[in-house]
Amino acid sequence: MNSIRKSANAEVLHRLNSGDPVLEDVGPAIEVLPGMTKNTILASGPPIPWTDYVGGQRDGIIGGAQYEGLAATPEEAVAKLDSGEIVVASAHEYDAVGSLAGIYTASMPVFVVRNKTYGNVGYCNFYEGTNPRRLNYGTYDQGVKERLDYVHTVVAPVIRDAVRAAGGIPLKHLMVRALHMGDELHSRNTAASLLFTNEVIPHLLKISETQKTGVEKTIEALTADNYFFLRMSMAAGKCIADAAHGVEGASVISAMAIGCREFGVRVSGLGDQWFGGSLPSVEAKLFDGHNEDEITWMGGDSVIAETVGLGGFAQAAAFPLQAYQGGSPEVMVQRNRELYDITVGENTHFKIPYFGYQGTPTGIDIFKVAETKIEPKLDIGVAGTNGEQIGAGVVKAPLICFERAVTAYKEKYGE
């Protein structure tokens, strides 16, 4: 390896380790996302033209147009999308990350998470709740609308007020602790959601003097299931990863994303180009009543977690995950250990108790992936063709993305 690449990758690792995500605010996408417009809909995955979107992700975009009031019917939405009156773009290009289909519309509230060390911001919208029918799984109907409205009008404003009352909520120490409590902060956010709740309670208490019902309902939303923190973890991952992007000569991944057509990666030293390839393969544990034929791909930027050393890269911190996504402790340990072979180093904050508090493997090097043929392992929710979550599992990022990135790296920087 040439020494420029080595020092560039060391700089990327340093930036990944020194990121300091702080939840600063909550606000509508139209107000806080740079460049967002009233008629823009964001979706997860590398950027592709509207006409390339298929399946659940296409359905999600159409549903988003209806939810935002940009179209009264799916047909009207399609016509306006076809004509360019409604614009579709990749969330990643707006400093945001989308869960599954990852639909953002202008009025949706988003978490505003600033990387205090580097000043940049990452965004993510809110978790829709436990009901498997969700816009981010490509479904839109009256129930989905009502649940979105509830989160947007009841929960988000209370969280916003609490965050403002707190003067911002540092997230990294919560993430560090959650890794000691069975979370890997992608498919498991149980402890982090509790820790976050705990952090905002004193502020919620104050707010409850004037907004009693809202606070009660928000506490319910925070604690009723175990995923509330995921969107903050994603925004944190995004602002950490973005600060590590653009290091000249670096061969470390600064973003991964699942699209409805292919998986893609972006590399710190290779500008804004995405390197795509086939769709990933998945080992899934499906909910009762579902089968593998139903598995479909409709996007997913939540693999930003693995990009910064979480999720699949911290599986051995989260043995309870086996109940949700299958696998055995032995497999989880073996999978997690081999990922050290494809990263440039270890995380200095995110640590795995079972590995004697060794830092998680961090900074995925395209050369190491291409040479070892060890694919990054990613913890994901699995979508079904009917537009619901039907399970969860472990995805292997396709090698071809990394091989193409290596080719581009060699073209730019020489052998």
Residue 395: both structure tokens together: 């995805």
What is the smallest separation between the CB atom of 172 and its own copies, expressed in angstroms? 17
What is the smallest separation between the CB atom of 335 and its own copies, expressed in angstroms? 15
Q: Which is nearer to its own copies, 178 or 258 (CB)?
A: 178
322 binds its own copies (CB under 8 A): yes
* Closest C-alpha among 258, 203, 256, 191 to residue 228: 191
Count residues binding its own copies (CB under 8 A): 30
What is the smallest separation between the CB atom of 258 and its own copies, expressed in angstroms? 27
Window contacting its own copies (CB under 8 A); options: 95-103, 186-194, 253-261, 340-348 = 186-194
Contacting residue, 215, 236, 339, 392, with its own copies by CB under 8 A: 215
How far, in Å, CA of 209 to CA of 76, rounded?
Answer: 45
213 binds its own copies (CB under 8 A): no
84 binds its own copies (CB under 8 A): no
Q: Which is nearer to its own copies, 131 or 197 (CB)?
A: 197
180 binds its own copies (CB under 8 A): yes
Question: Are 41 and 90 a contacting pair, CB within 8 Å?
Answer: no
Question: Are 312 and 339 a contacting pair, CB within 8 Å?
Answer: yes
Contacting residue, 319, 338, 348, 408, with its own copies by CB under 8 A: 319
What is the smallest separation between the CB atom of 210 and its own copies, expressed in angstroms? 12
163 DSSP assignment: H
223 binds its own copies (CB under 8 A): yes
194 binds its own copies (CB under 8 A): yes
Window contacting its own copies (CB under 8 A); options: 46-54, 207-215, 271-279, 372-380 = 207-215
What is the smallest separation between the CB atom of 354 and its own copies, expressed in angstroms? 5
What b/e readout covers 120-153, taking b as 16+ CB neighbours within 10 angstroms?
bbbbbbbbbbeebbbbbbbbbeeebeebbeebbe
Q: Which is nearer to its own copies, 27 or 320 (CB)?
A: 320
What is the smallest separation between the CB atom of 346 and its own copies, expressed in angstroms? 17
How far, in Å, CA of 313 to CA of 129, rounded?
Answer: 26
Window contacting its own copies (CB under 8 A); options: 3-11, 210-218, 289-297, 376-384 = 210-218
Contacting residue, 123, 350, 355, 409, with its own copies by CB under 8 A: 355
334 binds its own copies (CB under 8 A): no
Window contacting its own copies (CB under 8 A); options: 52-60, 126-134, 166-174, 191-199 = 191-199
Give 80: exposed, middle or buried? Use CB within 10 Å, 0-12, 13-18, 19+.
middle
DSSP-assigned beta bridge partners for residue 382: 391
198 binds its own copies (CB under 8 A): yes
Angle at which helices 230-243 and 3-18 pack, to 10 degrees?
A: 140
202 binds its own copies (CB under 8 A): yes
How far, in Å, CA of 321 to CA of 271, rounded?
Answer: 35
Q: Which is nearer to its own copies, 71 or 215 (CB)?
A: 215
353 binds its own copies (CB under 8 A): yes
3-state secondary structure of 223: helix
Residue 238: both structure tokens together: 């995004």
**How are beta strands 87-90 and 358-364 bridged, if at all?**
unpaired
Question: Are 389 and 134 a contacting pair, CB within 8 Å?
Answer: yes
Neighbours of 389 (CB within 10 A): 21
| E strands in 133-290 | 169-170, 253-258, 263-267, 274-276, 281-286
Give residues in contact with its own copies (CB under 8 A).
180-182, 190-191, 194-195, 197-198, 201-202, 205, 208, 212, 215-216, 219-220, 223, 319-320, 322-323, 328-329, 353-357
